[in-house]
Amino acid sequence: MPQKKNNPLPEYVQKKVKIEDAVGLALAHDITEIRPGEFKGPSFRKGHKIERKDLCRLMRLGKRHLYILKLDKWQVHEDKAVLELAVALAGPGVTFGRQPREGKITLKAAYSGLFKVNVDPLINFNLIPEVMCASIHNNTPVTKGQTLAGTRAIPLVIHRNILDKAVDIARIHYPVFSVKVLSHAKARLIITGNEVYDGLIEDKFEDIVTKKLEAYGASLVETVILPDDESMIADKVKVFLNEGADLIITTGGMSVDPDDVTRLGIKKVGVDRIYYSAAVLPGAMFQLAYKGDVPIVGIPACALYHETTIFDLILPRLLAGEKPDNKDLARFAHGGLCLDCPTCHFPACSFGKTG
Amino acid sequence: MQDFETLLKGSAKDHGHLCPGQVVGVRMAMLGCELIGLDDPQNLPQIKKIIVYVEIDRCATDAISYVTGVKLGRRSLKFVDNGIMAATFVNLETNRAFRILSTEESRELAIKYGPTTKDKHIQQLEAYKIMPLEELFMVEEVKVEIPIYEMPGPTRFKAVCQQCKVLVRDKKEVYKNGQILCRPCAFGTYHQAIEKSKKVV
């Protein structure tokens, strides 16, 4: 078995040779060059195939002998192996640099969007000995250039069969990692509540919803304030649907009090699918409905008080063109509890990280 | 590398005219090559060691391309549409990279270094030839992480657009609404169809 990286290499993998005999052979280690005040770094990298023209430079660096790799056709150097792993793992929207660093390749977002992980194949990939890949959570909104995952072959030299097995898992389940583009949706908002409609209190929802939409490149194109009237709410939703809304958002009226009729108004539209309640705190009394391709989101009043709610978890999914259902809303349970920290660090916290 | 005057003459001929942009571009490219340790970037083996990112599509870009030999089709010339008179020279072997920005101050300094004339074009052209590099440019050493699919060489990545079936090379596909799409299908085109049914060829 190949040895771990930090241990001395076994003799069958590396061999000491005279510099003049090293032409055509691959270096087993980096060769560092130091030019005082000018340059310090590897002048020859591990795996570099020695050419005749390199000999003078190597001699100037004080080298008379080199450790060279002697790999048979079944042995793959870690730098070559990790490139194969990265190519197989990186789906659309996932990019990586051309050179491994310390045997590792970091996968990054090629554009902003929603990071998707094919979780079970990723676990199976990691069950293959001598390869690894670790990522951030599935369904995380990411920005261009953000680090998504890191992968490496663990030993310096990996057996071709093991490498192929890992690559096959990633290829069969392509894409293990991808970034979905978020649409620049034009949303329409219905703010419900007699107290707002009658002017007794000032609406705060429009600002909140606008900021959250704009953070993902979507926009709010129309807002109306309606009383707690089932028919008026249903009629306005129909108008918005006819006007070609990409996304309809309602706020308030999601609870079970007699005046909380927004969810009933949405139901009255004759939607295709409707899901009420989510395994998220705050945001349990959340409603998600679909009429054709248009999602109709019912945000409960808790979003006025809490900075981060179910809406923050579901919005990027909708903008990525997904149609979450009751199973998705239930899946939030594991990780769906906001700790209500004095300073909100979302998304850098456990909230909504369902794995 | 050839001397400045020879390169400028060749660059102007290649570009179509002699202009201040040619002077800036030639000097920028000569400095860039020197900084990354290449003296013969147009020929093997150095031709494979250089990548230049240009941030503007104006006269100087052609001069940079002429001096360094980098070309869009060779994938050694990268265009980043920033509208800034700057370019970054990368040595792929050593990974050293320098971004050189043409300073705005140099426009005003043309009076100091150029001949006394009402023709700004001539004044700038002559001034940029002799202006000290530290006044003409702002230089910083930078790190450029070049994605593997932007490297020269054979196409390693191919995907088929699930909508129009066109082949998309070099990981330029996007994932939208559960489909792998080419950019025109995902984001729209820069052109508009005139008559769908009529094929020109």
Per-domain boundaries in chain A: 14-69, 75-180, 186-331
| Helix H or strand E segment including B10 | helix B4-15
Query: Residue A57's Cα: distance from chain center in Å?
Result: 44
Domain range annotation of chain B: 4-150, 154-201
B188 touches chain A (CB under 8 A): no
Strand ranges inside B66-170, DSSP E: 77-79, 86-91, 97-102, 137-142, 158-160, 167-169
Q: Domain A186-331 carries which CATH code?
A: 3.40.980.10
Which pLDDT does position A1 carry in this prediction? 40
What type of residue is A280?
Answer: V
| Closest of A170, A179, A11, A15 to residue A83, by C-alpha | A170
Q: What is the CATH number of domain A14-69?
A: 3.90.105.10
Residue B69: which pLDDT band, with cuts at 50, 70 and 90? very high
Q: Which of A63-67, A83-87, A205-209 has the lowest mean pLDDT?
A: A63-67
Mean pLDDT of chain A: 91
Chain B positions touching A100 (Cβ under 8 A) are none
Which of A34, A35, A95 to probe by mutation at the B interface, max B CB count within 10 Å? A95
Long-range contact list for A57-63, CB < 8 A, 24+ apart? A58/A19, A58/A31, A59/A19, A61/A31, A61/A33, A63/A19, A63/A31
A183: nearest CA in chain B? B176
ipTM, two decimals: 0.76
Question: Thinking of the domain A75-180, which architecture would CATH place it in?
Answer: Alpha-Beta Complex (3.90)
Cα-Cα end-to-end distance for chain B: 45
Q: Report yes or no: A192 and A262 within 8 Å, Cβ to Cβ.
A: yes
Fold held by B4-150: 60s Ribosomal Protein L30; Chain: A; (3.30.1330)
Residue with the bigger pLDDT between A44 and A327: it is A327
The residue to which tokens 């085109």 are assigned: B189
How would residue A9 be classed by pLDDT, with cut points 50, 70 and 90?
low
pLDDT bin (cut points 50, 70, 90) of residue A48 is confident
- Find the CB nearest A91 among B147, B175, B186: B175
pLDDT above 60 (res A8): no
Q: Which residue, chain included where needed, has tokens 């979003």?
A: A303
Q: Where are the alpha helices (DSSP H) in chain A?
A: 54-60, 78-89, 119-127, 160-172, 194-197, 205-215, 230-242, 262-268, 310-319, 326-331
Q: What is the pLDDT of residue B196?
A: 65
What backbone torsions phi and psi does residue B32 show, to the nearest 5 degrees?
-60, -45
Residues of A with CB under 8 A from a CB of B: 39, 41, 83, 86-87, 90-93, 95-99, 110-111, 113, 116, 175, 178-181, 183, 320-322
